[in-house]
Amino acid sequence: MNKKVIIVGAGIGGLSTALRLLSNGYDVEIYEKNKTIGGRVNLIENKNFRFDLSASILMMPDPYKEIFSYVNKNYRDYLEFIQIDPIYRLFSADGTTNDFNNNIPCLTKTLEGISKEDSLGYFKLLSDVYEKYLISNKYFLQRSEESFKDLFNLDTLLKALKIHTLSTSYDYISKYIKDENLRNFLAFQTMYVGISPFNGPNIYTLIPVVSQLYGLWHLKGGMYSFVNALSKLILEFGGTIKTEVAVEEIIFLKGKAIGVKTSQGIKKADIVVCNVDFPYAIKNLVKDEYYKDKYTDKKLSEMKYSCSTFIIYLGLRKKYPQLSVHNIYLGKNFKENIEAAFKGTLPKSPSLYIYCPSRIDRSMVKNEGDCLNIMIRVPNLLFKEVTWDKDNINLLTDIILSEVKSIKGLEDIEENIEYINCFTPLEMESKFNAYAGTAFGLSPNLMQTNYFRPHFKSNKANNLFFVGSSMHPGPGISLVLNSSKLVTEEILKQIRK
């Protein structure tokens, strides 16, 4: 009889782990408290518009494709990848606009238009960070960090020293780039893991460099098409996905997780995999203090957490060709306004990420207009200074729209809004059980990465496993897909013992 696995949560980590285990002969059931699967990789649909809820930047497509090859399927039968060029359009508060292309001659022309010194610095930065990426990917991102010797051995320590991550992302970028807008453009992208470029380690310069070297992609139909593809495959392999069934507790007996207590009663299993945000799961689903291990409520309160995100969704009556798919707007007083999210205040002149998938994918709209996601980083709910009431939401919306209207050609955007909605940290917390409404789980600072991040396997129950953005190797769909591969390897090790 095949071993029974219960997976708590149908986010990317839960879905991809389920598919891997199904292909290895396990009997898998997934329990999801929401009506739709996907976790934070979700969607909003209106009669004329389709919006990716949060995730929108597809970098490093190989992990997306790898899950299909793992189960001997051709990803082309399920997904259509569209390469984006330019990867970004940069708008600055001073009125300048620049495109950053994959095409090297076009990119060089853009950079030399800024300055030849910075053009040289940009390519030097790409070269040096690319070396960091190759080392990180081989020795850290693709490897489990479960045991002390995984990190603390001579070979790995020498590699860690070689990528010298102690300076901040902003300081590291500043060694190569003198132009303020170009520097801020690169620094802005390092925030995609929810950590400040003025405080976080320079390893996150990998994000803009990998985007530039490997390109950015779009999935036809939006990011949720990936969730639909995983769901289809899970059902093809005989898995079960039960939505609107909340897991209330993980049940233990004699050093093992024997199942879960749900809104429909107790469900038993040989293995439990938890895809709920790790801090939330330990605090709320693991009731027995013994099985929390070192992650007591006090310990969780002392850990560092990523920022959150405020998102505005706009369905527009007309097209705005001034926008590309991925756009960054740099507001005034960049450092002050970026750091607001990490100091517990709201920015007065925010820098924005503007996502316009309808620029290349008309399946996202049914009218003649465009659909936009406008995102800013905001404090998580551990900061009590910000109240997410109607007045503050309206005020922040007005501030953001004022910045958008300052972009040449977008002056009339407000009067062409057909649909508007927003997403706050409160919804991040209540809908997706994100601890303190964080957008990226535990902050990936140096003391919370690799071996120092929570481990896949519980120290107290050897058949309880965790997967997701708060686990190694970190937040973001590509890394969570790596996480699912690594946790599956840990589960399969038990068979070999």
Q: Tens digit of pLDDT for each residue in 324-364?
A: 999 999 999 999 999 999 999 999 999 999 999 999 999 99
Among the ranges given (16-30, 395-409, 454-468, 482-496), the one the predictor scored with the smallest mean pLDDT? 482-496
DSSP assignments along 413-478, one per residue: TGGGEEEEEEE-HHHHHHHH--GGG-SSSB---GGGSGGGSPPSB-SS-TTEEE-STTSTT-SSHH
CA-closest candidate to residue 30, choices 13, 43, 47, 46: 13
296-312 pLDDT, tens digit per residue, is 999 999 999 999 999 99
Write down the pLDDT at residue 316.
Answer: 98
Sheet containing 88-92: which strands, arranged edge to edge?
A: 97-100, 88-92, 326-330, 352-355, 371-378, 308-316, 417-423
| Span 130-145, average pLDDT | 73
CB 306 within 8 A of CB 377: no
| Span 158-182, average pLDDT | 81
74-104 pLDDT, tens digit per residue, is 999 999 999 999 999 999 999 999 999 999 9
pLDDT at position 157 over 80: no
Residue 176 makes CB contacts below 8 A (sequence gap 6+) with 121, 122, 124, 125, 128
Write down the pLDDT at residue 164.
Answer: 61
- C-alpha neighbours within 13 Å on the C-beta side of residue 341: 32
Cα–Cα distances (Å) from 228 to 25, 363, 432, in that order, read: 22, 15, 18
Q: pTM score, two decimals?
A: 0.94
Alpha helix positions (H), 217-361:
224-236, 278-280, 289-292, 297-302, 334-343
Cα(237)–Cα(404) distance, integer angstroms: 46
CB 166 within 8 A of CB 172: no
Write down the pLDDT at residue 160.
Answer: 47
Residue 20 belongs to what H/E stretch? helix 12-23
pLDDT bracket for residue 142 (50, 70, 90): low
Six-digit token pair at 72?
């001997």
pLDDT at position 405 over 70: yes
Percent residues over pLDDT 90 in the chain: 88
Write down the pLDDT at residue 166.
Answer: 74
Write down the pLDDT at residue 452.
Answer: 79
Percent residues over pLDDT 70 in the chain: 94
- Domains located in the chain, CATH noted: 4-81+221-303+433-496 (3.50.50.60), 107-215 (no CATH), 304-425 (3.30.190)
pLDDT at position 151 over 60: no
Write down the pLDDT at residue 146.
Answer: 63
| Span 182-207, average pLDDT | 95
pLDDT at position 66 over 90: yes
205-225 pLDDT, tens digit per residue, is 999 999 999 999 999 999 999
Q: Is the CA virtual torsion 228, 230, 232, 234 positive or negative?
A: negative
Cβ neighbours of 105 (radius 10 Å): 8
| Span 234-251, average pLDDT | 98
pLDDT at position 497 over 70: no
pLDDT bracket for residue 135 (50, 70, 90): confident
> Mean pLDDT in the chain?
93
Cα–Cα distances (Å) from 134 to 65, 125, 128, 205, 480, in that order, read: 19, 14, 10, 13, 19
Write down the pLDDT at residue 158.
Answer: 45
pLDDT bracket for residue 34 (50, 70, 90): very high
pLDDT at position 147 over 60: no
